[in-house]
Chain A
């Protein structure tokens, strides 16, 4: 069986500045990230013949949850695209999965992928969003939120808190164990000049943090920000002569095997789409969980990271609490350095693609002060998404 992703690589990466307060126009940040990725690869905009992002903003939308549409980026950079897609399927890794498919089909050679957040410029979360929420009460709710929103549950924090309660009760996982994720990631963020929160977080501060919805305090929820990340997916045979050593895409997973229209209807609740994505990813490689050198796993909420650790088989079902407890295993010098940039919990809610960016930095040995040095990272895993969205990628050096 031929798996096309092994003939593809990440050839370039870029990331804008990250802001907690509205500072620079989010669409400009998206272009900053895209231009940096193109230059990092040693390409010119003329070489880019494919583009993909998820979700894509509407044309002309330059702030908010998706602040750079494919059309607007293409217009700004003068791209001539043979192929483009804003399709979903693998959560925040959708652009990567779609790019691999398009390159394998011979549609294009170099696909520019990005995720651009402008949530501080046009907030969709927190107190600043209250007016919007109040306004929504008058509008009937449709889609997957139909069965959630009527119960004063407008936020994913509430939906995942329910998943967490089921899982943590079943396996006796405690908040003290869960604390290892935000505390350890904050230590990593201290070495990342771009991270929003860099001061150490103590167990005491965590345990007494403002409760959002049990078991999540404010420290269990990621930090909305403005910023953008871009990566270029290229055909390996045309990327070998480029500026950077290619990072090979060893395996991708985007499986959806059980009721993808709802966050509650899986027969194995509180498992999520991530469990299918992880299963599919491992079916496409001879590598095993023990081969992973660094983990870059979605941390929109702490529980999602724990759930991913189990879904990926890095630890057993129900064992994520014991696995992360104390934080030694997931520290920079641990068995599985986790979210070495500080993750979305400290660096900022860059919504997934930042995890891929960081994995590439670690595999290239370019992560600066936060570079993993007690071993040479050769294999990294990226897991993105939660609920009915999930995408997994295994990356390796050549």
Chain B
């Protein structure tokens, strides 16, 4: 899927999500974290669901994750997007319930496995830097 990329449907960036979609200009993925108890929170919540603190701010994460589930999609849902392609769910190493949907275009389809270790990189779309993952 690299090269001439067909259009992706991109997120509407606002105060609640800009750290995630646009906050990685230094190459580091950012996730909200509770300063009081250290719980990572994604997507946005106004209080920490664990300790109810309002002291929540984006912090960089390592970008290391593991694949917990994936599908090889064959259906041509979006015209111009070549099939098959992989859609995966990855779990960040910082906290198991911080999961992201993503694509793994740099990994051959037949090599994708549940449990494999991956690391983040970004695909630039204007102000948005879309987190994708590759083999770690």
- A interface residues, Cβ below 8 angstroms from B: 127, 130-131, 133-134, 136-142, 146-155, 157-159, 161-166, 169, 210-216, 259, 261-262, 264-267, 269-270
Total CB contacts across the A-B interface at under 8 A:
137
**Which 5 residue pairs of A and B lie closest in terms of their CB atoms, listed nearest first?**
A166-B69, A161-B71, A140-B12, A137-B7, A162-B69
Question: Size band of the B side of the interface?
Answer: 35 or more
B78→A166 contact, CB < 8 A: no
- Among the listed A150, A216, A269, which residue makes an inter-chain contact with B11, where contact means beta carbons less than 8 Å apart? A150
State in angstroms the CA–CA spacing of A134 and B85 once bound together. 17
A214→B71 contact, CB < 8 A: yes
Q: Point out the residues of chain B lying under 8 angstroms from A147, CB to CB.
A: 11, 43, 100-101
Give the distance to chain B from A222, nearest Cβ to Cβ, in Å.
14
Interface centre among B76, B81, B87 (most CB of A within 10 A): B87
Once A264-B101, A269-B99 are accepted as A-B contacts, the answer to whether A153 and B87 lie under 8 Å apart by CB is yes
- The reply to whether the CB of B25 lies closer than 8 angstroms to some CB of chain A is no
- Among the listed A149, A155, A215, which residue makes an inter-chain contact with B9, where contact means beta carbons less than 8 Å apart? A149
A213→B87 contact, CB < 8 A: yes
In the complex formed, the residue of B with least CB distance to A221 is: B75
A146→B12 contact, CB < 8 A: yes
Give the distance to chain B from A276, nearest Cβ to Cβ, in Å.
15
- Among the listed A130, A210, A264, which residue makes an inter-chain contact with B99, where contact means beta carbons less than 8 Å apart? A264
Q: Point out the residues of chain B lying under 8 angstroms from A212, CB to CB.
A: 73-75
- Does more than half of chain A's interface fall in helix, strand or loop, or is it mixed? mixed
Interface 1/0 per residue, B10-24 and A, CB below 8 Å = 111100010000000
In the complex formed, the residue of A with least CB distance to B125 is: A150
Once A158-B87, A162-B88, A166-B114 are accepted as A-B contacts, the answer to whether A152 and B11 lie under 8 Å apart by CB is no
A140→B78 contact, CB < 8 A: no
State in angstroms the CA–CA spacing of A241 and B63 once bound together. 65
Give the distance to chain A from B47, nearest Cβ to Cβ, in Å.
13
Give the distance to chain A from B130, nearest Cβ to Cβ, in Å.
6
State in angstroms the CA–CA spacing of A141 and B43 once bound together. 15
A267→B97 contact, CB < 8 A: yes
Q: Point out the residues of chain B lying under 8 angstroms from A163, CB to CB.
A: 69
Known: A133-B79, A138-B7, A150-B8. 7 other contacts (CB 8 A): A130-B79, A162-B89, A164-B71, A165-B71, A213-B75, A259-B49, A264-B100
Q: Point out the residues of chain B lying under 8 angstroms from A261, CB to CB.
A: 43
A152→B81 contact, CB < 8 A: yes
Q: Point out the residues of chain A lying under 8 angstroms from B89, CB to CB.
A: 162, 166, 264, 269
- The reply to whether the CB of B96 lies closer than 8 angstroms to some CB of chain A is yes
A265→B42 contact, CB < 8 A: yes
Once A130-B78, A130-B79 are accepted as A-B contacts, the answer to whether A151 and B72 lie under 8 Å apart by CB is no
- Among the listed B72, B79, B97, which residue makes an inter-chain contact with A265, where contact means beta carbons less than 8 Å apart? B97
In the complex formed, the residue of A with least CB distance to B99 is: A264
Give the distance to chain A from B126, nearest Cβ to Cβ, in Å.
11
Q: Point out the residues of chain A lying under 8 angstroms from B76, CB to CB.
A: 127, 130
In the complex formed, the residue of B with least CB distance to A267 is: B97
A152→B43 contact, CB < 8 A: no
Q: Point out the residues of chain A lying under 8 angstroms from B78, CB to CB.
A: 130, 133-134, 137, 152, 154
State in angstroms the CA–CA spacing of A214 and B101 once bound together. 16
In the complex formed, the residue of A with least CB distance to B13 is: A140
- Among the listed A148, A158, A267, which residue makes an inter-chain contact with B71, where contact means beta carbons less than 8 Å apart? A158
Give the distance to chain A from B11, nearest Cβ to Cβ, in Å.
5
Give the distance to chain B from A113, nearest Cβ to Cβ, in Å.
32
A141→B77 contact, CB < 8 A: no
- The reply to whether the CB of B68 lies closer than 8 angstroms to some CB of chain A is yes
Contacts A/B (CB < 8 Å), 30 sampled: A130-B79, A131-B79, A134-B79, A136-B9, A146-B12, A147-B100, A150-B130, A152-B1, A152-B78, A152-B81, A153-B73, A153-B87, A153-B101, A154-B9, A158-B77, A158-B87, A162-B101, A165-B69, A166-B89, A166-B114, A210-B74, A211-B72, A214-B72, A216-B71, A265-B43, A265-B99, A266-B97, A269-B89, A269-B97, A270-B69
Give the distance to chain A from B49, nearest Cβ to Cβ, in Å.
8
Q: Point out the residues of chain B lying under 8 angstroms from A136, CB to CB.
A: 9
State in angstroms the CA–CA spacing of A312 and B79 once bound together. 39
Q: Point out the residues of chain B lying under 8 angstroms from A215, CB to CB.
A: 71
State in angstroms the CA–CA spacing of A88 and B115 once bound together. 35
Q: Point out the residues of chain B lying under 8 angstroms from A259, CB to CB.
A: 49, 97
B69→A137 contact, CB < 8 A: no
B11→A162 contact, CB < 8 A: no
In the complex formed, the residue of A with least CB distance to B8 is: A150
Q: Point out the residues of chain A lying under 8 angstroms from B101, CB to CB.
A: 147-148, 151, 153, 159, 162, 264
Interface 1/0 per residue, B82-98 and A, CB below 8 Å = 00010111000000111
Give the distance to chain A from B77, nearest Cβ to Cβ, in Å.
5
